[in-house]
């Protein structure tokens, strides 16, 4: 009997604790909140987020992006044009912040972490899944400098549609993907006629520590 008790504390209990720590990964809760938001959305649900980066001038810049994928192992996946400001900023400072607002459930998710460019094969796989019109639109925009005229984009689009009229559209070198690996996340939930709830998940020595914060 004594041996069974020792075995429980040495093997079973640490395993249970480890599982609990793994389940504290903020990606898991984010996906749960996304699913609950989706269930309340009657016109479709898109995983949009505000991405904030720091430019070479030290000033913060924010813009909306679409989250393409999320996993506990690989973090948050998104794609952009290599000529955009966010791509240039990440070359200088690879840390960024994501803010996600879920209006149907009155929730907000703020995620900070390190951003790294994904391998070419992952970008290629995502490019192949994109609708044809999105590929043409991506190629038509140079994401650099002032637009010469309101009709310039439509003219480029028409030329591209003619060039690739009967062929597949290859992935350009300007199509780049990134993964944000979280090291901190804050979950904020508005409670009608009560205090809002705010929860912090912070990565410390490869373990996620979760705590409640003052609202």
Q: Which residues are annotated as a binding site?
A: 79-80, 86, 108, 198
Alpha carbon of 93 to those of 32, 51, 182: distances in Å?
Answer: 30, 14, 15
Burial label for 191, CB within 10 Å (0-12, 13-18, 19+), is: exposed
Burial label for 7, CB within 10 Å (0-12, 13-18, 19+), is: exposed
SS3 of residue 40 by DSSP = helix
Dihedral angle sign, alpha carbons of residues 124, 128, 95, 88: positive
Binding site, annotated residues for FMN: 79-80, 86, 108, 198
């Amino acid at each position: 009997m004594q041996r069974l008790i020792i075995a429980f504390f040495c093997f079973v209990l640490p395993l249970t604790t480890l599982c609990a720590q793994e389940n504290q990964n903020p990606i898991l809760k984010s996906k749960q909140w996304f699913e609950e938001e989706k269930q309340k959305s009657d016109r479709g649900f898109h995983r949009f987020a505000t991405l904030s980066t720091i430019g070479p001038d030290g000033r913060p810049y924010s813009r909306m992006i679409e989250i393409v994928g999320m996993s506990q192992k690989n973090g948050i996946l998104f794609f952009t044009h290599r000529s955009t400001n966010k791509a240039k900023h990440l070359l200088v400072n690879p840390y960024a912040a994501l803010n996600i607002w879920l209006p149907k459930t009155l929730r907000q998710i703020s995620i900070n972490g390190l951003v790294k460019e994904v391998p070419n094969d992952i970008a290629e796989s995502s490019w192949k899944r994109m609708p044809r019109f999105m590929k043409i639109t991506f190629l038509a925009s140079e994401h650099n400098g002032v637009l010469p005229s309101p009709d310039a984009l439509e003219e480029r689009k028409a030329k591209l549609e003619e060039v690739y009229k009967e062929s597949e559209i290859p992935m350009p070198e300007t199509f780049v993907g990134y993964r944000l690996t979280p090291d901190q996340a804050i979950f904020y939930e508005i409670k009608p006629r009560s205090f809002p709830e705010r929860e912090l998940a912070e990565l410390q020595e490869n373990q996620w520590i979760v705590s409640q914060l003052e609202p």
